[in-house]
């Protein structure tokens, strides 16, 4: 970017590259925001202002708008807004390592209109990143050295600045470069696979739209995620996976809904979250499935999240204070505030159900094994109590043919034979006795009667 004489405000090459990188992502920001994003360790914001002025001197950035806020004393405070020029877009694309067409426009019109929503998106990205302040090289002094500054501490952040994109088109039809009417733009998208999180879409809410409009945006996200295309094997795959990698989680990529407006009571924020939740139920609540393959009496089941969006709501104030890993997320359908990993999890999905089913299968097999062992032990006891039949020599069991038998008795077969022979003998004896009685009664002259 030229020799040292080009830079009248004495900014460093490193700092200029960082500011171009930040503006390539967020498009428009104040010097204070740029400092938080990429140079939080500087002593004051003047370092970043000097960087912006140097970049303006060579036509890479410009300041065409201002924004204001009310200070603690009640006075309005004005801040210059910085955005890239057309030439600055090319330089920012180089810093980001992306084609110019992928990083969007100069945001000149937004800067002229004070860019309230774009500034809220910038604050949200900063709250996600929580860029840790790094000490800067102290200025050489002839007098006594300057006292060591105590750098502020920030909670752990998420992602690198190069992993962020803003104003990303999500075409429900058409292409990413020429989306069809009815498509929407994601306020921001974070890709941070190194952090173990799926691609995260971020919607920043400034309370400027009705609840129903925000809920319809969630439905538009789902329509985009449901869109399919053909892969190299002519198989249908989600269209969004042509830009972003899939994860192993059920459902579509998560959507972070960040309520960013200051001066809103906690009750009002929560009421808005609840209304948006209730109006977008079909988008995030999975279908209930029930039953068990191993225990028909088990009243168990799971939710199928395959066609749903995990919607994670939070506020910018919470995100700033606790960072993205703190318990700041309310996942629609979950009972309370959670960390990011817990909010992304589906404790009632098919994975947990399969785990419970596996436990039931294991318990069923264990029960069957116990019953088998009991049968074997009972059979061993029967065999140990058996004796040889005194008549035929075969084994006789105490409960032979479900009939208790005294020890030493004959087997069932021999007992039956003996009983039958006894019955036959008794029958023959009865017949013979009857015949004798008949002969006695009739005698020799019985025919005369």
Contact at 8 Å (CB) between 189 and 181? no
* pLDDT score, position 141: 47
The pLDDT tens digits of the residues spanning 150-182 come to 677 889 999 999 999 999 999 999 999 899 988
- Between 290 and 271, the more confident residue is 271
The pLDDT tens digits of the residues spanning 315-347 come to 999 999 999 999 999 999 999 999 999 999 988
Question: Rounded distance, CA 348 to CA 272, Å?
Answer: 26
Contact at 8 Å (CB) between 214 and 255? no
* pLDDT score, position 353: 80
- Give SS3 for 325: coil
Residues 6+ apart with CB under 8 A from 160: 129, 192
- Between 410 and 51, the more confident residue is 51
Contact at 8 Å (CB) between 328 and 319? yes
List the beta strands (DSSP E) in 298-388: 301-304, 311-315, 329-331, 337-338, 387-388
Torsion sign over Cα 5, 9, 11, 17: negative
The pLDDT tens digits of the residues spanning 121-145 come to 999 999 999 998 876 655 444 555 5
Q: Strands across the sheet with 184-190, in order? A: 164-170, 184-190, 200-205, 255-259, 311-315, 329-331, 337-338
Mean pLDDT of 265-276: 95
Question: Rounded distance, CA 224 to CA 306, Å?
Answer: 15
Letter string b/e over residues 47-60, b meaning 16 or more CB atoms within 10 A of that residue's CB:
bbbbbbbbbbebeb
Question: Rounded distance, CA 338 to CA 346, Å?
Answer: 12
User: Which residue is listed with tokens 């000097």?
Assistant: 50
Cα Rg, the chain, nearest whole Å: 42
Please provide residue 414's backbone torsions phi and psi, each rounded to the nearest 5 degrees: -65, -40
* pLDDT score, position 399: 78
Question: Rounded distance, CA 84 to CA 340, Å?
Answer: 33
Residues 6+ apart with CB under 8 A from 30: 67, 79, 80, 81, 82, 119
Question: Rounded distance, CA 20 to CA 92, Å?
Answer: 5
* pLDDT score, position 218: 97
Question: Rounded distance, CA 61 to CA 84, Å?
Answer: 4
**What pLDDT band is residue 403 in, cutting at 50, 70 and 90?**
confident
């Amino acid at each position: 970017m030229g020799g040292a004489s080009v830079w009248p405000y004495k900014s460093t090459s490193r700092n200029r590259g960082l500011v171009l990188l930040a503006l390539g992502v967020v498009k428009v920001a104040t010097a204070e925001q740029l400092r938080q994003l990429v140079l939080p360790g500087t002593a004051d914001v003047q370092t970043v202002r000097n960087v912006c002025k140097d970049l303006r001197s060579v036509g890479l950035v410009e300041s065409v708008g201002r924004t204001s806020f009310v200070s603690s004393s009640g006075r309005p405070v004005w801040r210059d807004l910085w955005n890239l020029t057309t030439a600055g877009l090319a330089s920012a694309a180089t810093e980001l390592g992306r084609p110019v067409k992928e990083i969007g426009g100069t945001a000149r019109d937004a800067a002229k209109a004070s860019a309230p929503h774009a500034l809220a998106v910038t604050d949200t990205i900063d709250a996600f990143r929580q860029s840790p302040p790094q000490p800067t090289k102290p200025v050489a002094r002839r007098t006594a050295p300057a006292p060591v500054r105590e750098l502020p501490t920030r909670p752990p952040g998420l992602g690198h600045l190069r992993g962020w994109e803003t104003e990303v088109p999500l075409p429900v039809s058409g292409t990413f470069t020429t989306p069809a009417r009815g498509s929407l733009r994601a306020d921001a998208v974070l890709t941070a696979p190194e952090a173990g999180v799926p691609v995260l879409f971020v919607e920043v809410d400034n309370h400027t739209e009705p609840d129903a409009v925000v809920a319809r945006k969630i439905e538009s996200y789902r329509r985009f995620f449901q869109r399919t295309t053909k892969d190299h094997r002519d198989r249908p795959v989600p269209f969004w996976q042509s830009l972003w990698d899939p994860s192993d989680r059920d459902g579509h990529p998560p959507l972070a809904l960040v309520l960013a407006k200051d001066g809103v009571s906690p009750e009002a924020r929560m009421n808005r979250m609840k209304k948006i939740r209730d109006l977008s139920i079909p988008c995030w609540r999975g279908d209930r499935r029930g039953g068990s393959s191993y225990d028909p009496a088990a009243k168990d089941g799971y939710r199928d999240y395959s066609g749903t969006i995990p919607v994670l709501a939070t506020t910018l104030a919470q995100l700033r204070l606790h960072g993205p890993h703190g318990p700041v997320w309310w996942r629609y359908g979950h009972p309370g505030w959670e960390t990011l990993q817990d909010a992304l999890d589906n404790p009632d999905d098919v994975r947990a159900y399969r785990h419970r089913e596996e436990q039931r299968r294991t318990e069923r097999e264990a029960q069957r094994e116990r019953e088998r062992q009991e049968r074997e032990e009972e059979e061993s006891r029967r065999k140990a109590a058996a004796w040889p039949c005194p008549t035929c020599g075969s084994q006789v069991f105490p409960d032979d043919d479900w009939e208790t038998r005294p020890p030493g008795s004959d087997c069932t077969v021999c007992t039956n034979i003996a009983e039958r022979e006894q019955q036959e003998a008794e029958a023959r004896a009865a017949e013979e006795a009857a015949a004798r009685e008949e002969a006695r009664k009739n005698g020799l002259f019985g025919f005369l009667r």
